[in-house]
Chains A and B, each alone.
Chain A
Amino acid sequence: MLLHGFLPSLFEGAAVTLAVALSSLAVAALLGLVGALAKLSRSRVARGLAGIYTTLIRGVPDLVLMLLVFYGGQLAVNTVAPILGHEDYIDIDPFVAGVLTIGFIFGAYLTEAFRGAFLAVPPGQREAGLAFGMSPRQVLWRITLPQMLRHALPGLSNNWLVLIKSTAIVSVIGLSDLMTRGQQAAGTTREPFSFYLAVGLIYLLFTSLSELGFSWASKHLAIGVKEGRL
């Protein structure tokens, strides 16, 4: 039998990996947007905070941050909970810890990608919106954000590819993702090579499909944009 019948288990793990990756992407996109707006804002405090966030996060490995959030969060929650009148020991959900950490890390990378993309939108677009009497928020949602997306796509696709591979480290804090399922199957059958190879192929499938999807999206978002030809 193919992979000793462990294939369904691997697929379940792959679904968890995909769920972690997509949830992290949502967190990261939100943080990236807030970060980029903070970096471009007139407030010195906002710019300073966003600068510290991107510099610190991009200087530390994701595994170290993951371990810090998982073990540190466990300790913090169980120090605070008794004060609030909670008696039992609380276990941090590795899914939540993983999603928050990866989202937090890639939020820093997306901040930079979105910042560049916002700057690539011609300022006349924003000014025209304001001249029409739109509020700054309307200008952001209706004018700048949709146009910024096209410029952000290359950065977004690069970061997504790195992100989906980064999710493999959530196995270290015990989440039952694709990597963990592969480890379990490898341990049971004593055929580690076959299973890690299968795990690698599933990741390769995810990254290949993502690249196809992004190349479609970049064509779709560039409809109506004149391409310069040499």
Chain B
Amino acid sequence: MNFEAIGENFPLYLSGLLVTLKLLALSLACGLLLALPLAVVRTVSRGWASRAVWVYTYTFRGTPMLVQLFLCYYGLAQFESVRESWAWPWLSSASFCAWLTFSLNTAAYTTEIIAGSIRALPAGEIEAAKALGMTRGLLLRRIVLPAAMRRALPAYGNEAIFMLHGTSLASVVTLLDVTGAARQVNSKYYLPFEAFITAGAFYFVLTLGLVGLFRWAEGRWLKPMMSR
């Protein structure tokens, strides 16, 4: 084992860590923002709107994220109208496509997670709110969404970890995230063990961090509700 080259390239790994964290935070935040209204539509509406959301989540959950990423980054260039549109500077950038794909992907999973926990809400909580004369909007904002989001925490924690691991795909479209840094070190020095084990250690620590974060969040928001 020769970890000298890794030490020399440590700044490369650190900048990769920054890319990974940025991608993860932006995708999770946008995915969650998109998932909230979609989950409400999915559970409240019974018509075409709910079907449309279902088609979206079904296709995104049924295909590999790598295919989705390639469709966005390489695929869209096929159309001249896209290449000449105002959005092209963004759509031809690997980091924008990675962010867009990851956000849409995690939004699809998160929508189903939140919709599932909305459906599983105890009927009594909703009846009590209605008996107090709450309007539908107030009911959603004060009762349904907070309660559903608390209960979705354990499943959402898993999704966040899957997303962290998913960001490693960004290295396939040339981005220099942690995996990308490891691939560069490997191709430069031919040190596969050292390069990828270092990357693995970074992800492992990040995973432990996420697990701890969600354990704390569950203790803060979910446990107090469950004990009663």
Q: Do A and B bind each other?
A: yes
Q: Is A41 an interface residue (CB 8 A)?
A: no
Partner of A61, one of B70, B71, B203: B203
Number of interface residues of B (CB under 8 A): 41
Docked pose: A78 CA to B14 CA in angstroms: 31
In the complex, how many angstroms separate the beta carbon of A161 from the nearest chain B beta carbon?
A: 8
Chain A contact-residue range equals: 35 or more
A166 and B66 CA atoms in complex are apart in Å by: 9
Do B168 and A63 touch (CB < 8 A)?
Answer: yes
| Whole-angstrom distance between the Cβ of B160 and the nearest chain A Cβ | 13
Q: Which residue of A has the minimal Cβ distance to B172?
A: A172
Q: Are the C-beta atoms of A192 and B77 separated by less than 8 Å?
A: yes
**Contact partners of B57 in chain A: CB under 8 A:** none
A4 CB to closest chain B CB (Å) equals 13
A-B contact count (CB 8 A): 117
A68 and B200 contact, Cβ closer than 8 Å, known pairs A59-B208, A166-B64, A204-B63: yes
B residues less than 8 Å from A203 (CB atoms): 62-64, 67
- B204: contacting residue among A56, A167, A169, A186, CB under 8 A: A56
Interface centre among B64, B66, B172 (most CB of A within 10 A): B64
Measured in the bound complex, the distance between the Cα atoms of B184 and A155 in whole Å is 36
Tell me, yes or no, whether A197 is within 8 Å of chain B by CB.
Answer: yes
**Contact residue among B78, B169, B179 (Cβ-Cβ distance under 8 Å from A190):** B78
CA distance A83 to B161 in the complex (A): 42
Q: CA of A74 to CA of B190 in the docked complex: distance in angstroms?
A: 11
Chain A residue at smallest Cβ distance from B210: A59
Establish whether residues B193 and A75, one from each chain, have CB atoms under 8 Å apart when the complex forms.
Answer: yes
Set of chain B residues within 8 Å of A61, measured between Cβ atoms:
164-168, 179, 203
The SS class assigned to the B binding surface is helix
CB-CB under 8 A for A168 and B196, given A60-B203, A193-B78 = no
A59 B76 Cβ-Cβ under 8 A:
no
B74 in contact (CB, < 8 A): yes
Q: Mark contacts of A135-148 with chain B using CB atoms, 8 A cut-off: 1 yes-contact digit, 0 otherwise.
A: 00000000000000
Chain A residues contacting B179 (CB-CB under 8 Å) are 61, 63-64, 67
| CB contact under 8 A between A186 and B74, given known A64-B168, A71-B186 | yes
Verify B63–A165 contact, CB threshold 8 A: yes
Query: In the bound complex, do residue B196 and residue A68 qualify as a contact, i.e. CB atoms below 8 Å apart?
Result: yes
A56, A59, A165, A182 pick with most chain B CB within 10 angstroms: A59
In the complex, chain B residues whose CB is within 8 Å of the CB of A64: 168, 179, 182, 196, 199-200, 203
Question: Do A72 and B62 form a contact, CB below 8 Å, given A192-B77, A193-B71?
Answer: no
Bound Cα distance from A203 to B168, whole angstroms: 21
Q: Which residues of B contact A171 (CB under 8 A)?
A: 66
Question: Chain A nearest CB: distance from B168 CB in Å?
Answer: 4
* Chain A residues near B86 (CB-CB < 8 A): none
**Residue pair A59, B204 in contact (C-beta under 8 Å):** yes
B63 engages A200 (CB within 8 Å):
yes
Bound form: Cα–Cα A12–B160 in Å? 34
Is the Cβ of A67 less than 8 Å from the Cβ of B70?
no
**Chain A residues near B192 (CB-CB < 8 A):** 67-68, 71-72, 74-75
Considering only residues 175-195 of chain B, those with a C-beta below 8 Å from chain A are 179, 182-183, 186, 190, 192-193
What residues of A have a CB within 8 angstroms of the CB of B63 in the complex? Answer: 165, 200, 203-204, 207
How many angstroms from the CA of A196 to the CA of B199 in the assembled complex? 29
Check B66 against A169 for contact (C-beta < 8 Å).
Answer: yes
Q: Is A110 an interface residue (CB 8 A)?
A: no
Closest chain-A Cβ to B123's Cβ sits at a distance in Å of 11
Interface residues of A in 16-35 (CB under 8 A from B): none
Against A, the Cβ 8 Å flags (1 = close, 0 = not) of B197-209 are 1011001100110
Known A-B contacts: A58-B161, A63-B171, A196-B70. Give 9 more (CB < 8 A).
A56-B204, A65-B200, A72-B196, A75-B193, A186-B75, A190-B78, A193-B71, A207-B62, A207-B63
Instruction: List 6 A-B residue pairs with CB atoms under 8 Å apart, sorted by A's residue number.
Output: A59-B204, A61-B165, A64-B168, A67-B183, A197-B71, A203-B67
